[in-house]
């Protein structure tokens, strides 16, 4: 990296810029958002009030349209792009800003996952409870 964090440019989201969310229908965006929660197809169907078979079809189209190879990859994208996908105005996750210095996991994990420290801090803040 050139020393300047791409996240410091106001209004720029490098992760969202690389994913073509505009190709998804509103329902596919909802399915993608819920994939990040770790729900299985039956739970997704119950949450969305649709058939499990329909969830499978939506999931397949999400993977195809976003060119991601697996449901796990889509779930990771969902977590990283929650602030873009979530339509709930009262969602506390939409406006999350995390300083890299807040990170409480060893930087070695970021290296193993191939992530920058600020991305790892974002995931930690979202996924891990504060002590």
Q: What is the DSSP string of 54-101?
A: HHHHHHHHHHHHHT-SSHHHHHHHHHHTHHHH---TT-TTTT----GG
15-19, 35-39, 108-112, 116-120, range with the lowest pLDDT: 108-112
Residue 109 clears pLDDT 50, i.e. is over it: no
Residue 93 clears pLDDT 90, i.e. is over it: no
Contact between 62 and 54 (Cβ < 8 Å): no
What lies within 8 Å, CB to CB, of 63 at 6+ separation is: 69, 70, 71, 73, 74
Per-residue pLDDT tens digits for 12-62? 565 666 678 889 999 999 999 999 999 999 999 999 999 999 999 999 999
d(CA 23, CA 102): 34
Q: State the residue for tokens 């002590």.
A: 131
């Amino acid at each position: 990296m050139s020393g300047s964090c791409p996240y410091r440019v106001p209004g720029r989201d490098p992760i969202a810029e690389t994913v073509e969310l505009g190709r998804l229908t509103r329902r596919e965006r909802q399915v993608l958002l819920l994939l990040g929660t770790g729900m299985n197809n039956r739970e997704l169907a119950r949450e969305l009030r649709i058939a499990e078979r329909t969830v499978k079809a939506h999931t397949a189209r999400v993977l195809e349209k976003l060119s991601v190879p697996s449901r796990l990859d889509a779930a990771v994208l969902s977590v990283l792009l929650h602030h873009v996908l979530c339509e709930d105005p009262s969602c506390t996750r939409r406006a999350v800003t995390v300083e890299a210095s807040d990170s409480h996991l060893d930087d070695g994990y970021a290296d193993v996952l191939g992530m920058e420290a600020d991305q790892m801090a974002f995931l930690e803040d979202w996924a891990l409870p504060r002590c």
